Amino acid sequence: MAVIELSGVSRRYDQGPPALDDVTISVEAGEALAILGPSGSGKSTMLNLIAGLDRPDAGTVTVAGVRLDKLGEAATARYRRAHVGMIFQFFNLLDDLTVADNVVLPAQLAGMGRADARKRAASLLEALGIARHSGAYPGRLSGGQRQRVAVARALMNKPTLLLADEPTGALDSASGEDVRKLLIELNGEGQTLVLVTHDEKLAAACATRTVRLVDGRIATDTGPGIRPLGPHLAASGVPHGADGRTETARFDADGRRGVTL
Amino acid sequence: MSSLSKVVRSGVGRRRVQTVVIGLATFMAVAAAVLAGSLLVASTAPFDRGFTDQHGAHLSALFDGTTVTESQAAATAAASGVAESSGPFQVVTQTPNLGEGGGGDGAFELQPLTIAGRAQPTSGIDKVSLSDGHWPTSDTEIVLTEQIPLDSKLIFKALPGRPTLTVVGHARSVSRTADAWVLPGAIASLTSAGTKPGYQMLYRFTASATVSDMDTAKAAVVAAAPSGSMLGSQSWLTVKEAADRTAALFVPFLIAFGLLGLVMAMLSVGGVVAGAVSAATFRIGVLKAIGFTPSQVVRAYLLQALIPATVGIVLGVVGGNLLTIPVLAQTDVVYETAPSVVQPWVDALVVVAALGVVSLTALVAAARAGRLRTVDALAVGRAPAAGRGRFAASLSARLPLPRPVTLGLAQPFARPARMTAMLATVVFGAASVALAIGLTSSLNLIETARSHDKAQIMVSPMKMGPPEGGEAMGPPVNQQGPPPGPFDEGGPDPAAVTSAIATVTGTKASYGVLSAPATVAGVAAEVDVLAYRGDPRWAGFEMTEGRWYATAGEAILPTPMLKATGAKIGDTITLTVNGHNISVRVVGEVFSTQNEGMEVFTDLTTLTAVIPKVTPTEYYVGLTDGTDATAYANALETALTPFSLHANVNPGGHSDTLVAISTLTGLLTLILVAVAALGVLNAVVLQTRERVRELGVHKAIGMTPKQSVTVVLASVFLIGLVGGIAGVPAGMALHGVMVPAMGNSAGVRLPAALLDVYHPWVMALLALGGLVIAILGALMPAGWAARIRTATALRTE
């Protein structure tokens, strides 16, 4: 079942060349899609369109059954609350809020009760190993810890999709490895993941499918499949088959797979 | 192009929001400052300014046309001490009726007018200022000082041929040499049969500063004219005294508004420029990183602030002048002076001051940023200073309110200086509103108490119009009060009249009054004794001290009368009325400014004890709620037929000055509220722009446009609320100082009741005024926050 469907999507900024040019792609629930390509190839534009942060000039974008190109701003915001968790290269945490307050924010904006939101945030922080930092301000955490906080925030509303824009781009190698494992683990538990990166190693480690963009067009697409068991996964502890491959996780009729986190 | 100018050009061009905000803030600050400065100038010796502008007459003298020839009048210009003269102008005094175009049908009689024949208004002494319309161009046209509508017809019924003149203009003579002007050729048709017009001469003297100087100069003029030919004269010192008394009433009010405007303008522009430069700290870090020296940085940012500020200043001067014109027009009505204009030096001073404030604040902010280490400047630009606002954010996150609200509530605490400036702006705005509401309420109460004329119906021997069903007309307000009564014969039986009034449906209360001229030993001026039959207190009287009279022989006096007689409450004074000495004991001080406060209020029985036949000459009737005054007057007219009395709808309580001051208050309050709201707008625009990336994050995690609006509006909520709560007592305190000061200037003590205008519900509403100002200012940036695309916001540096 396709969670993401882009059909004939084009996007052009001002009078420049198209950032995306007639892109058609379908992503199944539970896939881990890596979007690769050089700078200016349209990776971030594609991610923004899937996240509902931007609208196409042509074509349709459907995510979890919702036609994003038809939505107004308020409906798009509600769509994001329900279906999208985002993590950014520079974390985009709010510096004047504590870790816990950052994490509960999406749930509070969605109207979740205070106690429930705090409870879920606490369990997420615990699961991600940063519970002891819940009262700290982001500025006092390491890059890896901050990205874990960002992941916790992204997962707060149990999103259909986890979108990651260069999630290890601002991290040292140890922290990057840490985040890599986390993403693999999440996808292993059924979380659909769309990853935009320059980092071939990250893509190879995390993705079950890789799309390469060049000048706004899909140059190569490995198609839905399985994540090769590389050294990263082997060390991650993520469950995998005896043949050394991990199958794309199963999902429910809504395209959601409740993560255990 | 040098690297510095490139930086400046790109800074101005690319950082458009900052550029626009600086330009806008400077524009409105300069416009407000021009208005405020002009008000201050207009409030500084308005009579003297008008007198100088009009080249006023130190003495205007009227010579008897039957005993003096034109050349004899003109010859008085050669008298000792005369420096300059104008005239002779032919002058007549006539009483017209108001015809078509003025709401009359010819039946309504106006006040007697002193009409001067002058070919043109602006030559020689007493250059009369036209406020609208034009100077007469034919013998059937007339210009008035009274605001009777243009194109109204004045019918002079008592004159041969019943000449009718059309009102073609309104003019003001600071020297008050006439009530109306016509071309010299029209005087003949306005001269009563068998009489001759008088000759008016206007003089300026070499020495005129003191009463003694004027006495000497006048004596010289009298000596130069045929004996006994001078019918009357008017010294500029007398006119000045009266004008200054009127102006003094309003000077504190206009000065306060002027100063409020100036302070708010400076706060606004200073805060915005400092905020805009501070917001560019990251860019300053980049410039330093690529080799700019601190002094180049300072110069670059000074210029970046000055370029939009200069545009704002130029537009502000133009806008300020346009804004000031109608305000000064109202001020002129209040001060009864010549039309004021914006003084060029006010514009120049405001320009210099605005450039100074912009330069200074930009210099200080840029110098501070320039002194930062490059790495710190870069870090500061990337993230707010650590710790700022965190406590507030943490605290607000725990409030049981929707999260967008609590996010917004905490925002201002991240920028304490800006929050303080915003708060001060709102406090000043709220104080202005509180002051304006208080002033308007007090002025209305003062007017009611001053004229003590709340009765809707006036009964008198004269029919004053209007035509049935028409708009109420009546005697001019400065002619309020009944005419002197017939002491010896008496009038209709008061009991019968009162009974007749009581029989008409809609009567709520009534009283009769007799006005009798009197003298009091030691008081030079003639005094009005107002003797009442029935209790007139419902008509709007307010006691300053003591109590209302209770029995015959008791009286209450206004402040000026008490001062003039030197009497205190409890003392007895003796009035001489129509040759009869009547002693009254003063039991109270009442607020009244009619007849310059030279009045005595007592019961009619005080007079009838000595002069038994006196009766009221006028009756005043208060109507029950919902009664139509015109219909009632028509019904009462029938009931009063046997008494030869007429029922008129009472136009009392109308005052041009009160209307002008209310208009002025409303206008100035609107302007100050707009300045305050714009101050908030500028600050919130900067705040929202600084937090645009944060806004992007919020949106990325699901914040709806409505929630974005809520965040921005909530960010000014506390400032608005606290500003309102702090501003109201400030405005009330200002009111408590200003209104008594206005009363003192006018020589009266105001009753406490006239100051007690802030009821609890009014205060509660006023406190919300600060919130309204803040919300008004935040609406536009809130809309922008709602509209901005998430991806754009996330990309914004």
What domains are defined for chain A?
Answer: 30-52+72-236 (3.40.50.300)
Length of chain B: 797
In this structure, the answer to whether residues B635 and B490 fall within a common structural domain is yes
The DSSP element (H or E) to which B780 belongs, if any, is helix B760-787
Q: How far is CA B409 from the centre of its chain?
A: 39
Whether residue B238 lies inside any domain: the answer is no
By CB atoms closer than 10 A (0-12, 13-18, 19+), residue A135 is exposed
Burial class of residue A75, CB neighbours in 10 A (0-12, 13-18, 19+): middle
Q: B481 with B510, same domain?
A: yes
Residues B604 and B660 in one domain: no
* Interchain pair A77, B702: CB under 8 A: yes
A10: helix, strand or coil: strand
- Low pLDDT (below 70) residues in chain B: 1-4, 6-7, 10-15, 17, 44-45, 100-111, 146-147, 245-250, 276-279, 331-340, 375-387, 462-490, 651-660, 796-797
Cβ-based contacts under 8 A for chains A and B: 87
Identify which of B21, B26, B84, B23 has the alpha carbon closest to the alpha carbon of residue B55.
B84
pLDDT surpassing 50 at residue A249: no
Question: Does residue B52 fall inside a structural domain?
Answer: no
- For residue B297, tell me if it sits in a domain: yes
Question: So what's the pLDDT on residue B105?
Answer: 53
- Mean of pLDDT values over A128-151: 89
* Burial label, B241 (beta-carbon count in 10 A; 0-12, 13-18, 19+): exposed
Residue B234 lies in a domain: no
- Substitution target in B403, B409, B411, B787 with the highest count of A β-carbons within 10 Å is B403
* B368: exposed, middle or buried (Cβ count in 10 Å: 0-12, 13-18, 19+): middle
Is B59 within a domain? no
CB within 8 Å of A171: residues ≥ 6 apart: A143, A144, A147, A178, A179
Q: How far is CA B256 from CA B20, B252, B260, B432, in A?
A: 30, 6, 6, 9
C-alpha span between A22 and A7 (Å, rounded): 8
Same structural domain, B155 and B276: no
Q: Does B394 touch chain A (CB under 8 A)?
A: yes
Q: Distance between CA atoms of B201 and B177, rounded to whole angstroms? A: 10
Mean pLDDT value across residues A16-30: 91
| CB-closest option in B388, B403, B789 to A105 | B403
- Spatial distance between the Cα atoms of B397 and A135, rounded to a whole number of angstroms: 13
How many CA atoms does the CB half-sphere of B509 hold within 13 Å? 13
Give residues with Cβ within 8 angstroms of B27, minimum separation 6: B312, B313, B315, B316, B319
Q: Are residues B388 and B378 in the same domain?
A: no
CA dist B599 and B277 (Å) reads 64
| B442 and B464 fall within a common domain | no
Radius of gyration of chain A (CA): 18
- The answer to whether residues B466 and B583 belong to one domain is yes
Higher pLDDT, A57 or B157: A57
Note whether A96 contacts B703, CB cutoff 8 Å: no
Same domain for B77 and B220, yes or no, is yes
Nearest residue, CB atoms, A74 vs list B386, B696, B705: B705
What is the complex's ipTM, to 2 decimals? 0.80
Out of B167, B200, B228, pick the residue that ends a domain.
B228
Q: What is the distance in angstroms between the Cα of B769 and the nearest Cα belonging to chain A?
A: 30
Q: Is A66 on the interface with B (CB under 8 A)?
A: no
Confidence band of A88 (pLDDT split at 50, 70, 90): confident
* A86 lies within 8 A of chain B by CB: yes
Strands B164-172 and B141-144: parallel
- Phi and psi at B30, nearest 5°, equal -70, -40
Nearest Cβ partner of A80 from B393, B696, B701? B701
Instruction: Note the pLDDT of residue B711.
Output: 94
Task: Mark which of B203, B228, B253 sits at the end of a domain.
Answer: B228
Q: Do B383 and A101 touch (CB under 8 A)?
A: no
pLDDT of residue A230: 46
Say if B23 falls within a structural domain: yes
Using the 3D structure, point to which of B328, B349, B383 is the last residue of a domain: B383
Answer whether A86 sits within 8 Å of B701, measured CB to CB: yes
pLDDT at B797: 55
Least CB–CB distance from B403: residue in A73, A92, A108? A108
With respect to residue B635, please indicate whether it lies within any of the assigned structural domains.
yes
Split into its structural domains, chain B has a count of 4
How far is A81 from chain B, CA to nearest CA, in Å?
5
**Phi/psi at B710 (5° precision):** -60, -40
Gyration radius from chain B CA atoms: 33
Question: Which of A11, A46, A89, A96 is most worth mutating to test chain B (most B CB atoms within 10 A of its CB)?
Answer: A96
Strand partners, B230: B63
Q: How far apart are the first and last CA of chain A?
A: 23
Mean pLDDT of chain B: 81
A222 part of contact set with chain B, CB < 8 Å: no
A50-75: average pLDDT: 90
Minimal Cα distance from A54: which residue of B? B791
- Residues B72 and B219 reside in one and the same domain: yes
User: Tokens 């052009």 correspond to what residue?
Assistant: A12
Cross-chain Cβ contact B394/A101 below 8 Å:
yes
Residues B400 and B446 in one domain: yes
Q: Are residues B256 and B320 in the same domain?
A: yes
Residues of A in contact with B404 (CB under 8 A): 109
A140 touching B, CB under 8 A?
no
Smallest Cβ–Cβ distance between A48 and the set B383, B390, B791 belongs to: B791
CB-CB neighbors (< 8 A) of B383 in chain A: 95, 139
Determine, for residues A86 and B786 on separate chains, whether the beta-carbon distance falls below 8 Å. no
Residue whose C-alpha is closest to residue B597's, from B605, B588, B586, B589:
B589
pLDDT of residue B263: 77
Give the count of beta carbons closer than 10 Å to the beta carbon of residue B778: 30
Centre a 10 Å sphere on the Cβ of residue A129 and count the other Cβ atoms it contains. 12
Q: Do residues B391 and B375 share a domain?
A: no
In a domain, B762, yes or no: yes
Rounded CA-CA distance B243/B283 in Å is 59
Q: What is the DSSP string of B247-304?
A: HHHHHHHHHHHHHHHHHHHHHHHHHHHHHHHHHTHHHHHHHHHTT--HHHHHHHHHHH
Residue B155 belongs to domain spanning: 65-228
Q: Which of A86, A109, A118, A162 has the highest number of chain B CBs within 10 A, making it the mutation to test binding with B?
A: A109
Which residues have CB under 8 Å from B269's CB, separation 6+?
Answer: B25, B26, B29, B309, B354, B357, B358, B361
Cβ proximity of A154 and A87 under 8 Å: yes
Mutation target vs A (from B701, B707, B784; most A CBs, 10 A cutoff): B701
B691 touches chain A (CB under 8 A): no
Sign of the alpha-carbon torsion through A115, A121, A123, A129: negative
Contact B147/B127 with Cβ under 8 angstroms?
A: no
